[in-house]
Amino acid sequence: MELTKNFDSVIDFKLGADAPQWLFDMAYLHAVRLQRIRDHFKVPIKVTSFYRSPEYNQGIKYAAKRSLHTRGLAVDITVKDKDRDLLLFIFDYCKKSLDYGELFIYELPDGTLDSIHISLPALNNYKETLRYIKGADGKLIRKP
């Protein structure tokens, strides 16, 4: 289902037709924000992670136990070839132009940028802006 001009519930958010209505609602809220980013930079934005069930979330590397992904409140995005400059520009744009709960940028141990985590404003989370390195041991290291 098309949510906005460039974002689709199936293609981008991987929602099946049997997904609950609230997840479509959340996907729509994210899509509207991602569309703003897409229109500003005029490049495709790839959603790499949206909703994770708490069970699934437990089993994945780097995921916080109470990740906002488990409530549909967060998306992770990246761009073609993980273009470093572009990811940094998008991170800055989000910082200035979006209302968010969490805004994280993830770096790999070799220094390449991986993805940006953007959440909707959530209870107890407001404008938390962090840089993390995805450590080789599966843990996140906070970067000043």
Residues that bind Zn ion in the complex, under the rule CB under 5 A: 74, 76, 117
Q: Given the complex with Zn ion, which of 2 and 56 has the nearer CB atom?
A: 56
Q: Which is nearer to Zn ion, 38 or 117 (CB)?
A: 117
- Neighbouring CB atoms inside 10 A of 91's CB total 18
Nearer to Zn ion, 3 or 77 (CB): 77
> 110: Cβ–Cβ under 8 A, 6 or more apart, which residues?
none
CA distances from 83 to 8, 28, 46, 60, 134 (A): 23, 26, 12, 25, 17
Q: How far is the CB of 71 from Zn ion (least distance, A)?
A: 12
Provide the minimum distance between the beta carbon of 49 and Zn ion in the complex, in angstroms, as a whole number. 6
CB of 115 to Zn ion, least distance (A): 7
